[in-house]
Structure 1
Amino acid sequence: MLRLMREWFGINKSIFRKLLLSYMVTVLLGLGALGLSMSVLAKNYIYNGTKEELLRKAKKVNLAIQDYPVQADQTTAMLAFLDQTFDTRIWVFDQQGRIISTSTQDEVFIGKSVARSIVEQVMEGKDVVQNLRFEGLSKPMMSVVVPWGQKDKVFGGIVLHAPVEGIEETVGNMREMILWATLLGILLSTAMVSYLSWTISRPLKRIDDVALQIERGNYSQRAVVESQDEIGDLARTINRMAGTLELVEAERADFEQTRQDFLANVSHELRTPLTAMQGFLEALQDGLVVDEASRQKYYDVMYKEVMHMNRLVNDLLELVRLEKHEVNLVKRPIDMDSFLRRIVFMFKEEAAKRNLELRLDMTAPLPGIIADPHRIEQIFINLVGNALKFTEQGSITLRARERDGGIGVTVEDTGIGISEHDLEFIWDRFFKVDRVRSRKETGTGLGLAIVKELVTLHQGTITVKSKAGEGTAFTVWLPAETKAEQS
């Protein structure tokens, strides 16, 4: 409970208090204005009702005494009777405003005068309503004055009094009831507003906690807010942002790991030939190699190591340019029949030296393609060269077929194959599956990465199937030349 209170009035104090105070002030002002309006309206209603009732009674009194002589006993008796009937005091005054009769015998107002302004209005046939205070009356009264007489003949006026105290007490009771109702409304409104404020501030607190975790680098955090309002939209936006940041962080980590692996691989690839050349140069400098034949052998080895480093640097630059899309293809129509025959012819002699059979299996005529001849040649030279390197006996077959609106060319060998574990990594830079192969063949480990980039650049695809000890088959699919391109 203490923790909840701390959350209410501690961390959430700003928005919670603002909402609570704003709602409370609004409710208080609204209920206060409503109570005041009801009080005024009720008071006016009671006063108006009392006034109308007094006027109606006064006119009945006039009907009852308009035929009686002035100050006759019948008049006094009738006024006393009407006093008891209407529960109100009755005075009668003459044309000069002097009170000549009252409804009670013990009153001392006979002979006193009513205000001249009232007398003048009554003599003109008008009704008068006022809150009057007379000498001898301890309490204020509501008084109505009507003409006394018949038609145009006015003898004076009739005054009816009603105590204002009862009206004020009734209005006071109503105001008290309105006040209690207002207080009850404020309590209920406070509870409702507190709950409403809590339903707003609590999910915002959750979002704030998640944002704090994201700031600290914990991108796996998510805000659990299921409402379908603006706060729910904010939570979902925060969650999408966290997901994006988590993905970016994962990509950054992968990139950093790739960068470290790249530097390690480059360092390894350069260190090996440099170490060999350093050893040979030191032997030559120290005069350890005396005969010319041995020196030429050392020179030959160093030359090969230099050429290996040169290929490594060239392949690196080529791959970087491909990945940055800085390679411009010079496309033109290529006759795949003659192109594949030329590739086979290029490697025929090397295959013979290795006692391998190099075959071409294609269904002529093949459709032409629009591509960069130099880059397409680079793709197949790399694939056929790899097949020759890692095939110790058997054959290498180039199989070409028209397929799916293009040409599928498969380079298949009967070599030592690639393990299932290594298959997913063969497109990575510097990855060499020859760790389990013959150590006589060396390479930069960049060839297949370059091949994949070149195939993608031509809107083609490349796939591989292999099994350790049974051979490997790389299949390159390239889109065929369209009729629009032919025209």
Structure 2
Amino acid sequence: MNEKNLDLIGKEMEVTSVDVQDKIKKKSRVYNRLFFKVYVNYALVVLLFALVLGAVFLQLSEKAAKNNIKQQLFSQAKAIAKRYNEFILDEDYEKSLPYIEVLSEVGIVADDVWVLSNPNASIPMNSDFTTGIDLKDISREYQEVYLGAFAGEDTYRSRYSKIYGFDIISVGVPVRGANGEVCGAILLNAKVERQTEAIRDTKSMIFLSMVVALIVSFIFAILFARQLVRPISKMRQTALLLAEKKYESKTGINRKDEIGDLARTIDFLTDKLMENEVIRKNLDQMRMDFFANVSHELRTPITVVRAYTESLVDGVVEEESTKQQYYEKMLLECKSMERLVGDLLILAKMQNPDFVIDKEPVNLTQVFDDILKTVRTMGMKKRISVCLENDHTVQLMYGDYDRLRQMFLVICDNAIKFSKEDSTIYISVTRGEKLRISIRDEGIGIDGDELSSIFDKFYKSKLRQNAKGSGLGLAIARQIALKHGGTIEVFSTISVGTEFVFSFDYITEEELEQR
């Protein structure tokens, strides 16, 4: 790739970065900010609450004011009616009109006091007691009130008066004569002017309260939004750091609410990402080590084969016996490479999670009868004997016969390789909660520091017995055990010996028959 192409890519990345920043700026406008949304919703709720509360309060205050005026008017009207009843009984015409004038001077609730005579009574109120108002001159809007009073009832009505231009409250109270008959009525009219002023003052107070509430809501919205936005911003910063592979980042948020749960989830994610990063680095290192080991293992036989081949091609070797030795060496190295490649293929297949072994009932007694023949042949040069202990003639488990045989042969081969001459290998197959197989030798043992590494690919100790090994045998044996749902453990003491212990699920003959 030339410099021109690199410059074009760089410019495209800059343009993309600018576009992303522009999008972020557009998204972060004031009306898109969480604080603005919190404040607007909070203010709308407060405003709506204030309007509803104000409307209810105005209705209640208006109703209470009218009820208060109504009660006062009825109380005064009844007092006047009682006084007029005394005037009628005493026929004291001279005191009635000055009484009304005195009431107006002392300031009663009513704006007008009308004393009306009942024309329908057998003995109507004397005109000297009335306020001189003819019923024909009274507006029809007052008719319901005085007619109710003439009928002997306390009457009340609230309405808008065209005469006064205000809301008027009118009450009517009957006045009884000497014979107990309703001879007239007391009619009190009061303008609701003072109530209107009170309602106006109430509206002003409600408006002022709404303004104060909006200011207070702004302050509370700031505090609430800061408490809400600050941890979210912290989690956003942590997420950006995680995107940059800074997996040690933490939110540092310790709250006992949903935001705290989200923060703990992000912190849990950082831990998992850190663990996965460590695993990834280990896998990368293992991959690098794997290729290095494979290259190392293949380099030696390829070099040897090449050297022998070049010698034969160049005619350096002329003797037939020497040529035959070279051919044998080349064949031996080819077999070694073939064995290495085969082991790699087997190990790769075993480590594949999708690979499933075809299992069938296998009698381990037959497996070890087959193995013993091979192991005794392998140990003949070092005069190594093999001792098998089996507590059942039939030891059944589900598995692959060839894979199980390969697994146990790997362990037995290592046991022969590291055992002393004239020693014994002990094989034990016993049944308890699990099927337990033990293979123990009397060899040189394994150092404690190496026990945790012996199942790693290409791991070989520096002992001369491992010079020709590929370092894959125990790794393959472990994978075979895992594919059969079993476990493999190793116990070793220097200069005493090593023991490999396998554990598998077994099946009885009865279970096999039922299946």
Give the TM-score band, short-chain normalised: 0.7 to 0.9
Report what 1:464 is aligned to.
490
1:43 maps onto 2:62 in alignment: yes
Gap regions ≥5 residues in structure 2: 1-27, 119-126, 150-154
What's 1:475 paired with? 501
Counterpart-to-counterpart distance in 1, 2:72 and 2:347: 107
Taking a change above 3 Å as real, the CA distance of residues 349 and 30 of structure 1, as seen in their structure-2 partners, is closer
The corresponding residue for 2:73 is 54
One-letter amino acid of the structure 2 residue matched with residue 77 of structure 1: P
Question: CA distance change for structure 1 residues 161 and 398 in 2, over 3 Å: closer, same or farther?
Answer: same
CA distance in 1 between counterparts of 2:430 and 2:148 reads: 120
Amino acid at match of 2:470: T
Identify the match of residue 438 of structure 1 among 464, 467, 478. Answer: 464
Give the Cα separation in 2 of the matches to 1:342 and 1:122. 125
Partner of 1:378: 406
Task: Choose the corresponding residue for 2:396, options 363, 369, 372.
Answer: 369
Q: Is the 8 A contact 1:427 1:448 kept in 2?
A: yes
1:411 is aligned to 439
1:124 to 136, 139, 147: 147
Rounded to whole Å, the distance in 1 between the matches of 2:182 and 2:436 is 128
1:306, CA displacement in angstroms? 0.4
The alignment's TM-score, normalised by the length of structure 2, stands at: 0.76
Deviations 1:220-255 (A, max 9, x none): 444444444433333344344444444443333333
CA distance in 2, matches of 1:449, 1:200: 54
34-43 vs 321-330, which deviates more?
321-330
Q: Which moved more, 1:68-77 or 1:327-336?
A: 68-77
Moved more, 159-168 or 20-29: 159-168
Deviation at 1:481, TM superposition (A): 4.0
How many Å apart are 1:360 and its aligned residue? 1.0
Specify the code of the residue in structure 2 equivalent to 1:168: T
1:294 corresponds in structure 2 to: 322
Distance (Å, rounded) in 2 between the aligned partners of 1:144 and 1:203: 65
Partner residue of 2:360 out of 300, 320, 331: 331
Contact 2:117 2:130 in 1 (8 A): no
Find the counterpart in structure 2 of residue 3 from structure 1. none
Mapped pair 1:77 → 2:98:
yes
Alignment of structure 1 residues 253-402 onto 2, 5 Å:
253-324=281-352, 326=355, 328-329=357-358, 331-334=360-363, 336=365, 339-340=367-368, 342-353=370-381, 355-362=382-389, 367-370=394-397, 371-391=399-419, 393-402=421-430
Match in the other structure for 1:252: 280
Question: What's the CA shift for 1:486?
Answer: 4.5
Contact 1:61-1:82 within 8 A present in 2 as well: no
The AA in structure 2 aligned to 1:421 is: D
The yes-or-no answer on 1:16 pairing with 2:39 is: no
Is contact 1:55–1:144 with CA below 8 Å preserved after alignment? Answer: no
1:275: Cα distance to partner? 1.1
Which residue of the partner structure matches residue 122 of structure 2? none
Distance 1:111 1:485 in 2: 121
Conserved 8 A contact 1:367-1:481:
no
The count of residues paired between Structure 1 and Structure 2 equals: 465
- Structure 1 residue runs of 5 or longer lacking an equivalent are 1-8
State the one-letter code of the partner of 1:41.
L
Structure 2 Cα separation of the partners of residues 364 and 144 of structure 1:
117
SS in 2 for 1:453: helix
Q: Deviations over 1:281-300 (max 9, x none)?
A: 11211221121122111111
Distance 1:102 1:289 in 2: 164
Aligned 8 A contact 1:351 1:388 in 2 = yes
TM-score by length of structure 1 reads: 0.80
Which residue identity lines up with residue 147 of structure 2 in the other structure? E
